[in-house]
Structure 1
């Protein structure tokens, strides 16, 4: 037992030394989620768990949280449980990549699976909000368009980011000096950890909709900025190649 604990601590420290740059990464993702993922990866490395196992566990935890939103009547205990499951899923999503690094690097198949699960999560979270609002509140049909719009924004932005990185053929993680400090704060509304925390307001539908709707608007602005920036980057690559 002692040997296992020592091995986990050593693995945690090794991952801390090899951590990706935090430049431009939102606060929760950088300061909380990566550390949680690092700890989960260090523990998983002591057994036979693979990065794909962590990806599957991540999706299972997320589905658990989404299921609570869809099936349980709004309440404080319910909201806390849903939020914790969603945050666990997010931490495990960080753990799969860190476990892959600990074991010498991931594979194209593993990276593909991770992106597929991420894309499903971006869509299903907002659909769960939609169904929960429809089942347990008396909001108007117009209000139900908010999670639909948010789902569209989140899904398109995720796809635009991933595809641009693949087409550019470069590492998506920028160096610390390449990203302005304020960039991390600009990205805050898109931080999955922050969006998950808003679920704590679920028992109070008006407060929840105000916070959730504000995040939706800010994410729509981020989507517009992302589309412009990524398109310009790809145009510059084309001009350079010519």
Structure 2
């Protein structure tokens, strides 16, 4: 993943201000996990009000996702344990958000809502494991214009946007289809690469 995405640039001034306070990257990661959990809980009741709140909390959680690594780099506190805590917290937050959205869509899909959320979450979990545990691929950012990098994790900003505009139902269907297929494709690519060696 890139360390200079648009979201990194957004959080950088706040991280610079927080760096001298003694706040640790792991504390920021913990806050990321807490806000990710809170977003998932807010998505779960469905309707319009609570999911809108969940979307706002999820945006905060995404900013904290970038802030913890940025703080670690700025303060020289990077560590393998912190890296893995960050990865597991990010994965858990994203998986829980999908499940929360699925639960919240029971009024639209019945019991299929939670099933779609679980399938989307499982796909995200599988992709995280393949990318960071098995290292089957190196996620790379896209640079739409010089100096502006967007990496695959940044695409999650679409989750709250789609919730806010009332498109959570098609989004969870798409996520339940795309994330498992992407995980399957990445797994097959990894097997092909290993067999070619």
- Give the 3 Å change call, closer, same or farther, for CA 146–158 of structure 1 in structure 2: same
Aligned counterpart in structure 1 of residue 16 of structure 2, from 42, 62, 72? 42
**2:176 corresponds to 1:216:** yes
92, 97, 100: which is aligned to 1:128?
Answer: 100
How many pairs are equivalent? 193
Distance, in Å, in 1 between the alignment partners of 2:195 and 2:143 is 22
Q: Distance in 2 between matches of 1:159 and 1:58?
A: 19
Distance 1:80 1:43, change over 3 A: farther
Helix, strand or coil at the partner of 2:110: coil
- Partners of 2:143 and 2:152 lie apart in 1 by 14
Q: Say whether 1:58 aligns with 2:18.
A: no
Equivalent residues of 1:198, 1:212 under 8 A apart: no
1:227 maps to which residue?
187
* Structure (1 or 2) with the larger CA radius of gyration: 1
1-side partners of 2:31 and 2:2: how far apart? 22
Secondary structure of the corresponding residue to residue 20 of structure 2: coil
TM-score normalised per structure 2: 0.80
Would the alpha carbon gap of residues 212 and 88 (structure 1) be closer, same or farther in structure 2, given more than 3 Å must change? same
**Per the alignment, do residues 234 and 102 of structure 1 end up closer, same or farther by CA in structure 2, a change over 3 Å counting?**
farther
- 1: distance between equivalents of 2:93 and 2:193? 27
Backbone CA RMSD of aligned residues: 3.2
Q: Which runs of 5+ in 2 are unaligned?
A: none
What's the counterpart of residue 157 of structure 2? 193
How many Å separate the matches in 2 of 1:132 and 1:34?
30
Between the aligned partners of 1:145 and 1:99, the Cα distance in structure 2 is 37
The answer to whether the 8 A contact 1:38-1:98 is kept is yes
Q: Secondary structure at the match of 2:105?
A: helix
1:69/1:173 CA distance change after superposition, 3 Å: closer
1:96 corresponds in structure 2 to 68
Aligned-residue offset at 1:93: 1.0
Deviations 1:79-128 (A, max 9, x none): 33211110111111111111111112411221121122123213211221
**1:55 Cα offset (Å):** 0.3
Counterpart for residue 151 of structure 1: 121
- What per-residue deviation string (whole Å, max 9, x for no partner) do you get for residues 44-100 of structure 1? 2131101011101111222222221224x522x433321111011111111111111
Residue number in structure 1 paired with 2:56: 84
